[in-house]
Chains A and B, each alone.
Chain A
């Protein structure tokens, strides 16, 4: 049996899904799009549960809603499990009235009953069941209340088949009844309503007879039928609400009191800055770097142990090097950041589930709408200062396609934590006391680039498209440990998977190019390696920003594609030191890098910070932008802009050096 789980955003759908299926989950994508598709098996049964995206309606205008309705309409679904937020029953039932029109039985899980109880909202379930002709079970997914009964009801097939569905006025019901036999589908009532609404995706069903019937009726209303249908649905819901729901009028809820502080005209922004500072202190600050050192230590031990072990079993030197210098070094460099990312994932998940993230999007929208982005773009930008990969993934919450694409393309400009070693090394050596100022200037530059690019993109790429901002401001909620665990572990696993696939392959390729010459001799000097000759081939690209044809710097910049901190690692290896070198004085006095000046150092930093991000982030861009072509566009845009800026910095810097 196949069951579809449907509900609004913030209805507790994901918590219920995790509760019903436990660890028996498969995550994939919906065909053709990048929206996540989760399938699970309900505990103690062999029923398949499909988690549909969180939606408010089955309209044709948003990607998520389209996916959901074509799934429900076209595929074999035996039961719809509709999750309802008991605390905002009216808006939730709007989706239910649409689901009931499908020829599929619906069971309603009236979720968050614990909160509704506390707030004194009372339901006359019998009347509600009768009016909607469905089976309704009051539950609390968070407190696990009554979930067992829900499973039993589904298992025993002990639910109403919802046959009685008269919710519209007399005229409309008559029209629907007339249309139903004329349309050829499993879901005649649903389709009849769609043709009345003149839904663009069902236009093929509008033959002459159907069209004239619809036109005859529509002309009586003098209004758009889509609007009439929506009005009628809500009218019926109001009627049901008046009959079956008793809600006490609350004057000032906890959410209102909290919002008086968090959205206060004077306090909102200082509080936001303090919270963000706290997040970064934990994730990127002293605590975060401590965890990085910890993992680094483990990986270094692993490398040493592996080297000894492989040498003991008489593995050939190149095999030892492949495992130790190629695979472990490359993948290890990424895994170094895992604990830091997990901290970041936890904090971001907390900001999201408590409802504060929606407030950030709400009060900062004003600034972002000026440049064609939305308040929701800020979330990826914040996350991006830790790591671009989850940042790009978090752009999903932006419902406007243009804003989403722009945000995804701009997020990698935020200097992520892996880019910090580059700044530390270059700024520390070339700018000494003023290195802090130089580092700050780069962040400032990033913000300017984002704002200017956003305005330019809006003017050139996405011209004439106006966007709107529709956001539900959820109530503040206490976070759930169980949800936190699911959320963080699934994101961390996705990150590890990526490190294990794309980064593994890239590491092996770079290792191979660095360790062999064109005659396939292993163990050559870096100078003679294939990578060096490739570097010489491309060093002209970097000439305008370095003032020197340097294969070593070119190759190191390219290695930033694996992971940005690899740039430094690579420079160190080429200069003949261990990859852990962090002292600029050693690196920049070596013959191969002696050419660096303050101008070229700043230019090289600019290029590395703003050019194409690492493979991990490029992969995430590919997934979220949907096509490889768009990914290439984004990568070329980022790299081209970085190159231009770097050249501009170097040339004007050199000019200044001459004048001063």
Chain B
């Protein structure tokens, strides 16, 4: 596996590549699974929303995101479907 470098501001990456403490803006949800996409939308992951990679589980997966004033846990595999732009 190639070690993933910390993405810089303005980079477009998969949400799964975001490091702990980094903030990003959601660009696109790349999933065809309607039910799953709707769940993400319902939980507030809409295009343009700002989120922060807040906590990572002790075993590396899943991760905890902060958005819209609350915290949401998702698996890394699911985060790969979310394209984001790094803010900081």
Q: List A residues at the B interface (Cβ < 8 Å).
A: 56-57, 59, 61-62, 87-91, 94, 226-227, 230-231, 234, 247, 259, 263-266, 268-269, 362-367, 369, 375, 468-474
Contact = CB atoms under 8 A, between A and B. Distances in A.
Given A59-B42, A91-B68, A468-B75, 4 more contacts: A227-B47, A234-B46, A363-B59, A472-B73
Contacts of B62: 362, 365-366, 375, 469, 471
A376 B36 CA distance: 18
Interface residues of B, number: 33
B2 interface: no
Interface string B46-76: 1111000001011111101000111111110
A230 B37 CA distance: 11
B41 A473 contact: no
5 contacts: A61-B35, A230-B42, A369-B75, A470-B39, A473-B72
B34 interface: yes
Contacts of B42: 56-57, 59, 94, 230
B41 A366 contact: no
A90 B69 CA distance: 7
Interface in B9-62: 29, 34-44, 46-49, 55, 57-62
Nearest to B29: A227
A468 B62 CA distance: 11
A474 B69 CA distance: 11
Given A234-B49, A366-B62, A369-B75, A263 B57 contact: yes
Nearest to A55: B42
Contacts of A266: 58
A471 B73 contact: yes
Interface string B66-88: 00111111110010000000000
Contacts of B72: 470-473
A610 B68 CA distance: 46
B46 A231 contact: yes
Nearest to A227: B41
A367 B42 CA distance: 27
- Please report whether the interface of chain A is mostly helix, strand, loop or mixed according to DSSP: helix
A473 to B, nearest CB: 4
Contacts of B36: 468
B59 A91 contact: no
Nearest to B65: A473
B59 A61 contact: no
A372 to B, nearest CB: 13
Interface of B: 29, 34-44, 46-49, 55, 57-62, 64, 68-75, 78
B58 A473 contact: no
Q: Sorted from nearest, which 8 A-B pairs have the closest CB atoms?
A: A57-B42, A230-B41, A366-B59, A61-B35, A88-B70, A90-B68, A473-B71, A268-B58
Contact of B68 (A88, A471, A474): A88
Nearest to B49: A234
B74 A91 contact: no
Contacts of A56: 42-43
A646 B59 CA distance: 36
B46 A59 contact: no
A471 B55 CA distance: 13
B44 A234 contact: yes
A363 B58 contact: yes
Contacts of B70: 87-88, 90-91, 472
Nearest to B39: A470
Given A269-B58, A468-B78, A469-B74, A87 B69 contact: yes
Q: Which of B38, B44, B74 has the most CB of A within 10 A?
A: B38
Contact of A230 (B35, B46, B74): B46
Given A57-B42, A234-B49, A473 B73 contact: yes
B49 A365 contact: no
A367 B75 CA distance: 12
A81 B35 CA distance: 27
Contacts of B43: 56, 91, 470, 472
A471 B68 CA distance: 15
A159 B73 CA distance: 37
Nearest to B69: A88
Contacts of A89: 69
B57 A366 contact: yes
Contacts of B57: 263, 362-363, 365-366
A369 B68 CA distance: 27
Contacts of B60: 366
Contacts of B47: 227, 231
B44 A264 contact: no
B55 A263 contact: yes
Contacts of A474: 71
A470 B35 contact: no
A57 B42 CA distance: 6
A369 B62 CA distance: 10
Contact of B64 (A94, A269, A362): A362
Contact of A472 (B38, B71, B75): B71
B68 to A, nearest CB: 4
A89 B44 CA distance: 12
B59 A470 contact: no
Q: Which of A91, A365, A470 has the most CB of B within 10 A?
A: A470
